[in-house]
Structure 1
Amino acid sequence: MKQIVLLPAVLALLTACDKGVEMKNASVENVAKAVKDKGLEEKFVDPGKWEQVVTLLSIDAPGMGGQERAAMQQAIGQKQVHTVCLTPEKAKSPRADFVTGKDENCNYDHFKWGGGKIDMVLSCQHPNAKQKMALSGDYEPQRYSMAMTMTNEGGSKTEQFAMKMKVEAKRVGDCDAKAASN
């Protein structure tokens, strides 16, 4: 679930450059270096206030209890709206570990970003589970649209899940003074 929390940073990174990076079977470090070498870290998105609409499309979690399962099923199709302020400093350069945090157990099956399109699959191997995140969509400096699939395969039913979601985002204006100082 760590990748879900990092999704806004990933999407912010993907939304503004037309130069491209395409790699297969690459480490997170090598992808970050290629992004830097191409100069893609200079500017990722236009700074300002962004509205992000996240919609859960499906979830399958065999080990989830009855009440949890019912709550998740009710969440399917519901839109969650998030508004964030992206300062000029934050728009310039995310950290090199923008997708995986400091997780060294992850590798890109493929990573393609450029010309207004994104298509990537990230696989992570942990002691008790394998995770996979696929992200694809299109972007411009003022908006993006992405589809995301996440799976977790573990030794027990409680360690297994699969979910699909979509994210639509657009720049909606300038940040107010209070949001810009956070």
Structure 2
Amino acid sequence: MKRIIIAIAATGLLAGCSGGKTDADGDGEVSMKEAATKAEAAGLKPEPGQYKATITMTGIDIPGLPPEMKGHGAGLTTTTEYCLTQEEVDKGFEDMMKRGQNGECAYESFTLDGGKMDAVMVCKSGQGDARMTMSGNVTPTSSDFTATMALDTPDAKGGSMSFAAKHERVGDCPAK
């Protein structure tokens, strides 16, 4: 779950690029490298600085959950801050997109055009798979999107969770 949240954050960092589908090799899957290449080709990158990410769980539906647990966690908000350094921006989008994923995620589709993002990402791990659809808006200093994740894990097979995510630049990185 933590890796998937990081993947949501990484997607939010793809602020400001434009273009259509990015399946350059035609294999039916948009790799992190393909999505990063498309973003870099657009010549636009997120601005370095201190960012605040707020992720709010908006729904949860896990088959077999006891009635008293239905909806448990909906409304739970996690807020973190992170520094996106100039060095990280200079390394390119692929490194940012892979952060925290251990190569477990790839896009089925990824479209970012005129500040509007639509994407489907699939993450596979030893604990099971998750397929996440995302839609929202991005700029070089912010993103605001929703995501719905379908789960295929032993404990949550056929379950789903939905999130709202907001990233915003709040200033310069703190001095070291």
One-letter code of the match for 1:15? A
Asked if residue 159 in structure 1 is aligned to residue 161 in structure 2, the reply is no
Percent identity over paired residues: 26
TM-score scaled by length of structure 2: 0.77
One-letter code of the match for 1:136? S
TM-score scaled by length of structure 1: 0.74
1:174 to 168, 172, 175: 172
Gaps of 5+ in 2: none
How many residues are matched?
168
Contact between 1:57 and 1:166, CA under 8 Å: does it hold in 2? Answer: yes
Counterpart of 1:118 in structure 2 is 117
One-letter code of the match for 1:149? T
Where do 1:142-153 residues align within 5 Å?
142-153=141-152
In 2, Cα distance between equivalents of 1:146 and 1:124: 18
Counterpart of 1:27 in structure 2 is 29
Counterpart of 1:15 in structure 2 is 15
1:34 CA displacement = 5.6
The Cα offsets for residues 92-131 of structure 1, whole Å up to 9 and x where unpaired, read as 313368255313xx65332211210110112356688442
Gaps of 5+ in 1: none
Contact between 2:22 and 2:34, CA under 8 Å: does it hold in 1? Answer: no
In 2, Cα distance between equivalents of 1:97 and 1:49: 15
One-letter code of the match for 1:27? E
SS state of the match for residue 27, structure 1? coil
Residue 107 to residue 89, structure 1, CA distance change in 2 (3 Å): closer
The two structures, once aligned, show a CA RMSD in angstroms of: 3.1
- Bigger mean CA offset, 109-118 vs 50-59: 109-118
SS state of the match for residue 159, structure 1? coil
